[in-house]
A and B are shown apart, each in its own frame.
Chain A
Amino acid sequence: MTDSKYFTTTKKGEIFELKAELNSDKKEKKKEAVKKVIASMTVGKDVSALFPDVVNCMQTDNLELKKLVYLYLMNYAKSQPDMAIMAVNTFVKDCEDPNPLIRALAVRTMGCIRVDKITEYLCEPLRKCLKDEDPYVRKTAAVCVAKLHDINAQLVEDQGFLDTLKDLISDSNPMVVANAVAALSEIAESHPNSNLLDLNPQSINKLLTALNECTEWGQIFILDCLANYTPRDDRESQSICERVTPRLSHANSAVVLSAVKVLMKFMEMLPKDLDYYGTLLKKLAPPLVTLLSAEPELQYVALRNINLIVQKRPEILKHEMKVFFVKYNDPIYVKLEKLDIMIRLASQANIAQVLAELKEYATEVDVDFVRKAVRAIGRCAIKVEQSAERCVSTLLDLIQTKVNYVVQEAIVVIKDIFRKYPNKYESVIATLCENLDSLDEPEARAAMIWIVGEYAERIDNADELLESFLEGFHDESTQVQLQLLTAIVKLFLKKPTETQELVQQVLSLATQDSDNPDLRDRGYIYWRLLSTDPVAAKEVVLAEKPLISEETDLIEPTLLDELICHIGTLASVYHKPPNAFVEGSRGVQHKRLPPRTGSNESPESPELAQPAAAQPADQPPAVIPSQGDLLGDLLNLDLGPPTSGGTPAITSAMQMGAMDLLGGGLDSLLGGDLGGSPAIGAGSRSCSYAVLPQCPSRGWSRDLFDLGSGVGMPAGSYVVPKTVWLPAMKAKGLEISGTFARRMGTIQMDVTFTNKAMQIMTDFAIQFNRNSFGLSPAAPLQLATPLSPNQTIEVSLPLSTVGPVMKMDPLNNLQVAVKNNIDVFYFSSLYPINILFVEDGKMERQVFLATWKDIPSDNEAQFQIKDCHLNSDAVSNKLQSNNIFTIAKRNVEGQDMLYQSMKLTNGIWILAELRIQPGSPNFTLSLKCRAPEISQFVLQSYEAMLKN
C-alpha cells in the first residue's frame, strides 16, 4: 500500500466521500481519510470545505493523526478564521502536555496559524513555553515569536516577547541561543532602527561559545549576526577571528561562506604588518577553493562571492588560478563566472597560461561562452600591459578562423585595445578591414566604423568604406548610425577636401530623414559646430580621448566594501547593495567595513576613516561624476548657448523627441529591467499619440522674457522643505537648493540659487537628463538679473511631463545640469512622487472595484505608517489636497477603511486601501498598482503628507 493512490482519486463526489470517512467511527478509516485530504492539499486541490470535519479529528492520542491535522490547520486556518477558533482549546491544552514533544508541536503549529483573532489567545501559552524547562520547547517557542511578529508586530512588542527573546541569547543551551538569534535577526529586518541585536563584548562571547556547539544552521545565524558587530579594537577583532576560523573547515558551504564574511570584515581592522594577518590570508584560500568542487549551484554562488573577494584582496587567491580553469561540462553560468575571475587574477606571472586557456575556450561550442572568452583576451591585453602584443596576435589568429561571431567579438575588443594603447597596433587595421563584409552585429559594425573614423588618415579608402555603410543608413541600429555620423565628421575634419559631399549627405540623413532624437541632436550639433567654427569643431571632435583602463569593469570601491559586508547573501550574488532590491529590504542600513585601528598606517580609502555609524536614511544629493567621455556628455545634454544662425529645425526636433517617448516611454518604465511587471493594458498605451504634448515650440533664442510663473503660490498640497542639491564646494561657488511642488495643476521646481563665489554669475540655463516620468522644464530658466556675489535668487520653474523618458534608479531620480558663464554643473535630486498625482485621479467606484480585482495580488504591497495621530476625515482631507482621492469609506469591525485612488501624469493608476484603527497611531496601507516598483515611493509620499 503506497501513498500514490491518493493522487489518482479524481472522482466527482470525492469531497463528499472524504467527509463521510472523516466522520467514521473507525480510527483507522479516519486516519486514511486525513491522509487523503493531506495528499490532495499537497498537489494543490482545494479541500478547505472539509475544515470542520478535519478539526474534529484533532482531539486524539494518536500522534501521527494529530500531526496530520496540524498540517491541515496551518494550510487552511486563514481561509476559515471562525472555524479556526475551534482549535484554540486543544492548542492551549497541548501546551500543558507532559510530553515536551507535544508541547513543542503545539507551540510550533500555533504560530503558523495566521489568523488575527486567534493570536491573542496564544500569548499566554507562548509565554509559558518561552520559559519551559525543556530546551527543545524553548527553542521552538523562540521561532514562534518571529512568526507571531510577522502576523502582528504590535502585539509582540506589547506583550514584551522581544525582551524575553533577548534574554534567551544568554540561555544555557546553544540551540536555544541560535534560534533566538535567528528570530531576532528576522524581526530586526523589519525594524531597521531598533537595537534588537544590541551586541556587546559579553553577548559576543556568549555567541562565540554557542557557535561551537550548535547545529550547522545555528552557526550560520550566529555568524551572520557576528558580522554586524564592530569590535572595539584590533585585539578584540583578532580574538573573534581566531574563534571563527575553525568554521572554515565545516562541511556546510553556507557556514564556510558566512565565516569568510566575518573574517573578511574583521580583517579590515587588523594591522597589515601583524603576523596573524598573513596567517589569516593563507587560511582563507583553501576553503574557497574547496567550494569550487561542490555541486554547480553552490559553485555559482561561491564564484560570485569569490569575484568580490579577489577584487578586495587579490592576494588571497593569486596562486590558485588553475582551479578556475573551465571544464567543458560545467554549466554555462559557472563557465562565465570562472572566466570573469580568471581575468581578475591574470597577472604578468600567469598570463601565458591564461592566454593558452582562453584560446582553447574560443574554439568551444557554446556561442555565449566563446564570445566572452574572446572578450576576455582583450581585457587581458588592457590589464597586463606586457601581454598586449601576445593578446593582439592571438586575436588575429582567431580572426583568421573566419568564424563569424568570433571575428565580430574580436573586432569589438581590438577597438578597446586601440583606446588603451593608441598608435601601437594600427598595423592590424588592414586585416580588420578584410572582414568588413562579414560584420552583421551592431556592436561589431559600430566598433569597425569607430576604428575607420579614428584612423581615417591612415586608411587610404576610408571614405569608400564609410560610404559603403552609408547606403543602408536607415536600416542600421541607432548605435551604428551615431557612430557612422561621428566617424564621417572625423573623416571630414581630417580630409576636408575630398569628403565634403559625404559629410553633407550624412548630416542631412541624420537631421532630416531620421526620427531618432539622439541622432538628430548629434547631427545638429555637428552641423552647427562645422558651420560656425570649424576650428572649435576640430578641437571638440578630434579631442584627445582619455585612455581606458581595466578599472572600468571593477566594482566601485565604496560599493565593493559594502558588498564585502554582505558576502554570502543575495546582494553578493547580484553585486548590488541590498537597498537596490525591490523588497525585503525596507530599511536595510548601509553596512561599512570597520576602520582599521591601532596601527600607524592610514586606512586604505578615506571613506573608511569615517565612523561606521549608520548613514542617514535620506541620502545627500549626489553630484553626478563628470564622465570620461567629454564628447559624449556634450552630445547627450546639449546645453549650449543659443547660436543665432543655422538652426533650421530645432523646433520640430524637440517635438519629435517629445512625441517619440510617449509611446516607448511607458513601456520601458513598466516593463523595466527587473523583467517582472506584467505588461500594461492596452488602455494606457492607446493615448500615446492622442495627447500631443504642449511642447515649448520655440527656439532657445526667442524665449528671453518668457518668465515662468511666480514664486511660492500658496496651495493646499504638501511641499517638502528645500534641501541643498548642489553644495557650493562642488560648483565653483554656486549653491543650488530646491524642492518640488504641485500648484494649480502644474509641477514646479522651486530653486534657490546662491552665489558664494567672488565673481558675478550670468547666462544661466538648465536641462534635465531623461528620467522616469519625462519631467522637463516647460520654460527656460530665467534669472532676471545677473547673480552677484552673496546674492540669492529664488525661481519657480514650471515643469512638463512630456520630456524624454528613461527608467531611472531610483525611479524618482532626476539628473539636472545647470550651466552658467563659469561652467556646467551636474547634480541629481529625488522628487516626491506626489507631484505627479494629477487632478483627475478620482476613479469611479465600480471601476475601482474591478481594477482592484484585476491587478494580480502579487502586485500588492502592504506598509505600516506609524505615529500618525489623525482621524480618518482629517486624513482624507489632507490627502485630497494632494490629489489622492477617497472613493469610499467603510467601517469594518471598528476600523475605518479608506479606499483611495490616484493617477500619475503618465496614466498609471495607483489604488490604495488605508486601514485606520481609531485610537491607534499606526495605519496600514495596501497599495495595488500595475507597476509595483512605484509603491514604495507612493508610501514615502503618504508618510510625508500625513506627518506634516
Chain B
Amino acid sequence: MIHSLFLINSAGDIFLEKHWKSVVSRSVCDYFFEAQGKANDVENVPPVIPTPHHYLISIYQDKIFFVAVIQTEVPPLFVIEFLHRVVEMFQDYFGECSEAAIKENVVTVYELLEEMLDNGFPLATESNILKELIRPPTILRSVVNSITGSSNVGETLPTGQLSGIPWRRAEVKYTNNEAYFDVVEEIDAILDKSGSTVFAEIQGVIDASIKLSGMPDLTLSFMNPRLLDDVSFHPCVRFKRWESERVLSFIPPDGNFRLMDYHVGSQNLVAIPVYVNHNINFKESGSSGRFDVTVGLKQTMGKSVEGVTMTVHMPKVVLNMNLTPTQGTYTYDPVTKILTWDIGKINPQKIPNLKGVICLQSGAPKPEENPNLNIQFRIQQLAISGIKVNRLDMFGEKYKPFKGVKYVTKAGKFQVRT
C-alpha cells in the first residue's frame, strides 16, 4: 500500500513528507527529479516512475507535485485517485491547495493525512467524516482556540463511519432546507481545417448542494433519461433503481458533492454552438504572415454565448503580432508565444473578427506546424445534450425544502485545427 508521500513545489523543494510505514529517505525523490529533468514541460512528467526499490506515482496539481512512494504491487489508479482525494481535501479545508496554504496549516495537514491513511490503507476519505474528526480552520475558531485553549480535534466518534451510509453524518439541522443542483456540460471537440467535426463529445456532471435536515431520501428523475447511457455515480446513488427505473434515488451527503458524471459519446450527434473561420499563413520568404480569424454562432438553441475567449499557441519563430479586433481585447506574450483574444459575449448581428500581421524572426525558415485555436465559451440555462431534470421528490422528512436546478454549457477541450 501507500508507503510515503512527498510534496514538491515548482522550485524542486520537498516541503512536506509523510510516512505511513517505515521512513523512506527523501533521496528517493532524486529519481523523480531525474524524470522531471527529462520532461520538457512540468505537465509531461510520467505519472509512474520505477526506481530500484520503490515506485513513484505522482500527480501535478496547483503547481505542486504529489509524489506517493509504494513498495509492493498496488493498483496505480488507487494511488492516483487517493492523491486527487488529498488535493480535494486540502481545497475543501483551506480554500486552496497551495504551498502557502499547506505550510500555514501544517499541523492540520499532518493530522488529515494521518486520518486518511492507516498503514497505507485508506481510512477516512469522506470530507464529512474528516470534518467531524478534525475541524477545518476558520479565523474565528483560531481566535477562540487561542483564548480558550480548546483544539480543532473533534471529541466524538465519527458516527457516519459506522453506519451503512458513511457519507452522511447524523443529526444535521438547518433552518432553511434547500436542495440545489447544477447540471454542467462541457463540450470536448476537435474541428478540422474546413470546420467539420472530427470528434465531439459531452462530459456532463450534476453537482449538488444539499442543506437538508435529518435523513432525507431524495429521488431525482429526468425528462429524457435515455440520453444517459454512460454514467458514474456518487456511492450514495442506488444503482438498482437506476437500472430498473432510470431515476436517481439517494440519501445525500451533507453539503456540496458531485452526484453523477455522465458522458454523451461519439455515437450521438453533438451540437457545436460556434464556428471559426480562419486564415493564418506565413509568407514563404520574408518575415511576416497574415492572421485573420472570425468567430460566429452556429447551433445555440436561441441562447446567448458569453465569456468567449480564444487562445492560440503560435510557433516559436513568431516574434510579435499586430492585430485589430472588432470586439474585445487581445494580448500576445512573446515569451510563451501565446495569443489570447478575450471576446466576451457574441452579438449575432456583429460577428467578432481579429485580423492583422504576424511578425516572424528574420531569417528563420517558415514554420512547419499550424497553430491550433483553443476556444472557451459559456452558455447559461442550456444543457447542450438536451438533458432535463423532471422533478425532485423527498421522502423520510416532513418539511418542504427549496429546490432548484441550474444548467450551463461550457467549452471543454474545444480545439480548431488550422
A interface residue numbers (CB < 8 A to B) = 1-4, 6-7, 27-28, 31, 35, 38-39, 42-44, 62-65, 67-68, 71, 75, 78, 99-101, 108, 111-112, 114, 134-136, 140, 143-144, 146-147, 150, 173, 175, 179, 182-183, 186, 189, 213, 215-217, 220, 224, 246, 249-254, 256-258, 286-287, 289-290, 293, 295-298, 300-302, 319-320, 322-323, 325, 327-329, 331-333, 357, 360, 363-365, 401, 403, 568-571, 573-574, 578, 581-585, 588, 674-677, 856-859, 932
Q: Out of A135, A298, A325, A859, which one reaches B80, CB within 8 Å?
A: A298
Among B10-18, B215-223, B297-305, which stretch is in contact with chain A? B10-18
Residue contact B198 to A257, C-beta cutoff 8 Å: no
* Residue of chain B at shortest CB distance from A103: B157
* Residue of chain A at shortest CB distance from B235: A216
With A289-B230, A327-B415: A568-B75 Cβ-Cβ less than 8 Å = yes
* Residue of chain B at shortest CB distance from A61: B155
Residue contact A213 to B164, C-beta cutoff 8 Å: yes
Residue contact B119 to A75, C-beta cutoff 8 Å: no
- Extra 20 A-B pairs, beta carbons < 8 Å, given A114-B21, A246-B239, A364-B369: A42-B109, A64-B152, A67-B111, A101-B157, A144-B119, A173-B162, A254-B75, A257-B77, A258-B75, A287-B230, A328-B313, A329-B374, A333-B46, A365-B315, A401-B368, A568-B75, A568-B76, A568-B78, A569-B73, A574-B50
Residue contact A3 to B53, C-beta cutoff 8 Å: no
A27: B residues at CB distance < 8 A: 149
Does B138 sit at the interface, judged by CB under 8 A? no
B218 CB, min distance to chain A CBs, angstroms: 18
Residue contact A300 to B261, C-beta cutoff 8 Å: no
With A1-B142, A3-B106, A150-B21: A64-B52 Cβ-Cβ less than 8 Å = no
CA distance A216 to B146 in the complex (A): 38
Residue contact A251 to B108, C-beta cutoff 8 Å: no
* Residue of chain A at shortest CB distance from B155: A63
Residue contact A217 to B78, C-beta cutoff 8 Å: yes
- Would you give 11 A-B contacts (Cβ < 8 Å), ordered by A? A65-B151, A147-B119, A179-B121, A189-B72, A249-B231, A250-B235, A253-B80, A254-B78, A287-B230, A327-B188, A363-B369
Residue contact A246 to B23, C-beta cutoff 8 Å: no
CA distance A319 to B265 in the complex (A): 11
CA distance A140 to B123 in the complex (A): 9
Residue contact A112 to B15, C-beta cutoff 8 Å: no
Residue contact A327 to B190, C-beta cutoff 8 Å: yes
A118 CB, min distance to chain B CBs, angstroms: 15
Residue contact B232 to A256, C-beta cutoff 8 Å: yes
Q: Out of A112, A290, A320, which one reaches B261, CB within 8 Å?
A: A290
B19: A residues at CB distance < 8 A: 75
Residue contact B149 to A217, C-beta cutoff 8 Å: no
A189: B residues at CB distance < 8 A: 72-73
Residue contact A3 to B104, C-beta cutoff 8 Å: yes
B238 CB, min distance to chain A CBs, angstroms: 10
A72 CB, min distance to chain B CBs, angstroms: 10
CA distance A112 to B108 in the complex (A): 20
Number of interchain pairs (Cβ within 8 Å): 280
B85 CB, min distance to chain A CBs, angstroms: 9
Task: Bin chain B's interface residue count.
Answer: 35 or more
* Residue of chain A at shortest CB distance from B79: A254
With A1-B146, A35-B107, A217-B125: A676-B51 Cβ-Cβ less than 8 Å = yes
Does B351 sit at the interface, judged by CB under 8 A? no
With A143-B121, A249-B232, A569-B73: A331-B203 Cβ-Cβ less than 8 Å = no
Does B74 sit at the interface, judged by CB under 8 A? yes
Residue contact A220 to B156, C-beta cutoff 8 Å: no
Residue contact B239 to A4, C-beta cutoff 8 Å: no
Interface of A is mostly: helix
CA distance A568 to B48 in the complex (A): 13
B263: A residues at CB distance < 8 A: 286, 289-290, 293
CA distance A573 to B57 in the complex (A): 12
Residue contact B235 to A215, C-beta cutoff 8 Å: yes
Residue contact A111 to B239, C-beta cutoff 8 Å: no
Residue contact B106 to A224, C-beta cutoff 8 Å: no
A224: B residues at CB distance < 8 A: 75
Residue contact A582 to B77, C-beta cutoff 8 Å: no
Residue contact A676 to B73, C-beta cutoff 8 Å: no
CA distance A274 to B266 in the complex (A): 28
Residue contact B73 to A254, C-beta cutoff 8 Å: no
B53: A residues at CB distance < 8 A: 582-583, 676, 858, 932
Within 8 A of A (CB), among B71-101: 71-78, 80-82, 84, 100
With A4-B106, A101-B156: A220-B78 Cβ-Cβ less than 8 Å = yes
Residue contact B239 to A293, C-beta cutoff 8 Å: no
CA distance A581 to B48 in the complex (A): 14
With A301-B47, A365-B369: A295-B59 Cβ-Cβ less than 8 Å = yes
With A4-B100, A38-B107, A254-B81: A63-B118 Cβ-Cβ less than 8 Å = no
Residue contact B75 to A108, C-beta cutoff 8 Å: no
CA distance A303 to B18 in the complex (A): 30
Q: Out of A28, A112, A932, which one reaches B52, CB within 8 Å?
A: A932
With A216-B235, A328-B372, A570-B76: A4-B103 Cβ-Cβ less than 8 Å = yes
Residue contact A7 to B106, C-beta cutoff 8 Å: yes
* Residue of chain B at shortest CB distance from A290: B263
B318 CB, min distance to chain A CBs, angstroms: 13
A295: B residues at CB distance < 8 A: 59, 80, 84
CA distance A328 to B103 in the complex (A): 35
Does B105 sit at the interface, judged by CB under 8 A? yes
Does B417 sit at the interface, judged by CB under 8 A? yes
B370 CB, min distance to chain A CBs, angstroms: 6
Does B178 sit at the interface, judged by CB under 8 A? no
Residue contact B232 to A251, C-beta cutoff 8 Å: yes
A329 CB, min distance to chain B CBs, angstroms: 7
Contact with A along B216-253 (1 / 0, CB 8 A): 00000000000001111111000110110000000000
Within 8 A of A (CB), among B126-164: 126, 142, 146, 149, 151-158, 161-162, 164
Residue contact B118 to A250, C-beta cutoff 8 Å: no
* Residue of chain B at shortest CB distance from A135: B162
With A64-B151, A213-B164, A329-B374: A4-B104 Cβ-Cβ less than 8 Å = yes
Residue contact A217 to B122, C-beta cutoff 8 Å: yes
Does B199 sit at the interface, judged by CB under 8 A? yes
A182: B residues at CB distance < 8 A: 1, 121
Within 8 A of A (CB), among B1-37: 1, 14-23, 25-28, 31
Residue contact A249 to B239, C-beta cutoff 8 Å: yes
B397 CB, min distance to chain A CBs, angstroms: 23
B291 CB, min distance to chain A CBs, angstroms: 18
* Residue of chain B at shortest CB distance from A5: B104
Q: Out of B39, B82, B114, B156, which one reaches A71, CB within 8 Å?
A: B114
